[in-house]
Structure 1
């Protein structure tokens, strides 16, 4: 069973969380409830809980400080952050420490148990993977190829590609168990046309064919070859070959890439780029060369698509690996929130432009530009959720498309266009929501003009306070509510004066006036002549 520690400075909230959890069904064990971050940290060091549900704001150590200290200690804990809208930004900051799950107060029982169920499934999957690797390692000599593939999958499944904690890959220490010679990583990135509709079956076909071409080109020349198709149209290769075959391998890679480019040219709007790592002799460093090869392919954003790019970790392009896209966004969160809150689409576009200009000044690595793009989308989605209690429907689609942008300018333009268009859609939707109550109010007046009608009563009926209702009514109709009510009553009285023989007193009462004299004054003011004079025009 997985153990769960709850940390919240409000004991009643902590007890509520405890009571909401379906412990037996989820296979979870209650470890304890603490009310400050320091106590939670001490228990984590001592007991190593699997899951910690923590509030952001706590005494002694905040939830964020506690998460940071645990992260630095190396202890693996799955954190679930609890936060109110007021402290939502703190919950977002926890993402840099690997926190993937958060709950907004008030806590929903279904959502809480759904997250815990997901965490349990992830932990079981992780344990199963580790058990599988352990079993393979026991018979490593006879199943070297399977181990290589399993370890490569693990290397990429445990890497948070654009932000968050990076987890190192644990590899066997004895080189003789996994083969001698050279190891080289190759990352092939296919970029599709993001202006059209996504065709997932076509993407799968493309990646399957490229994987087949890789195996056909390299299998006979290598001791071992691992070919793995990854999300975002990535094809990852890990080659193990004899050192004296290095020249033949490089020639084979060039020939393979030539075939792949010819194949890809048959699909309109698609391009393929190949990133290569240097060769190494230490198998324990394959996670490093896998990362190097991927960064090489990411450099197409600087050097262009459709070519082989070498990246030997020398920062030849001047990029600074120590700086991150998170440094850019951290100082612009309030600016972005302000732009979104009052629908300043132009200002939002300029803020995005400034972010990319800052990235250029900081000389960020290629992968950091893609991280910045996804970070801007995540920040936008978080602010929209906080301000309007809704999530952008296309956020996942945008983030997928970001990975297919081929230049810095196209990446920046895509982000600007997508977010500005979505913000404008939200603005129009909110205007429609405001327009509906006004239409209901108009209909009510037209149907009940003979009754006593007060602004406050109509505002309450449509769900607004009087001040806000008066504001949006004038915004939608161009006149204040009192003037509109007067116009409806006078127009109805004009019809009665023309088409009936009712007295002025009767007509005044029918359109909502108890005082016929006051009615006559209002009529004269609006029409320019008295009711009796108006009637004479038609008789």
Structure 2
């Protein structure tokens, strides 16, 4: 499911588009609303935003500048521009920044929803069909041949018995088309319970499901990642991601966030288009073909943590390395560890909520977990989304400063982390129902 951020300085526009999207039946998880570019950037830094829908002319920060800032902060964010100005220069700038469409107000509801739908489908890179239609038209829709059996066998042998000194290893690596030298492993496992005696849940049904999942994975990863996806025993799909020295050395891309995004996309697409329950396990990254077996085992162990988190489906091994899967953690141990993660995050946020440009990734790094897992635990433990918690602290501190000091509005805005005094005033009034000056009186 996807998170969408609507940005327009006209509240009625945001309200109307929000209601339209909420009732559209699209695969939307959360809808965020911002009334300025600065507010939008706060969401992009602290929430998992997949699609940005923005106006062009918004005063303090234009939609063009917002798209530029958003791309720098989170390159994976897709965007659609909505504008009252049918100006070629604006459209040209928007398209250069990667806008998927440029829509002119007043919007046609059907056209708007079609545009959003098409963007989400392209983000999926998977066939837009229900499971029954997908299976019925599988061969026509994908035209994917069965994977090369020799290559699949070579890959699974490398996972089972990687021996760099072995005579056959070099041949297996060549057959598997692996180069590396950095590798990570993702595994997709069907969350299918054994059927009761007498029902006809046959092996061929599982084979078909595995085939369908492999198709979705290949469609999603094709052309974007240096990866190879293949069948593994027990009807699992295995995916090896690899980086050369140059790609791995690119510090502008957080590799753990990258793995997390791929895992969430795989899970969302399998659930949406195949209606199949599944769990995704993600390994850490290691250098050397000899570590493929260890990475494979890490991904398998990550999947096992679904037993302890029944409402979560994408697991990164590094989040659980404190608790080897061979050790069944007690409920008390889990509670203590989860509380430590959330407490560490809260302490960091309390110290840095006034920092401009604070990001979810930065907070997660302090807690030594992935952003995905921190978001899940934080909401589960506190009832707040991370960004809502940051806003709460900022508003409480700004109220204290307004009522107990002679600081000016722009000084308070700067102290609690807002780049624009106007944006700060809007957030404050939205939170408390009165403006800073009204509260001062």
TM-score, length of structure 1 as denominator length = 0.26
Instruction: Point out the structure with the larger helix share.
Output: 1
TM-score, length of structure 2 as denominator length = 0.31
| Higher relative contact order (Cα pairs below 8 Å, separated by 6+ residues) | 2
Larger Rg: 1
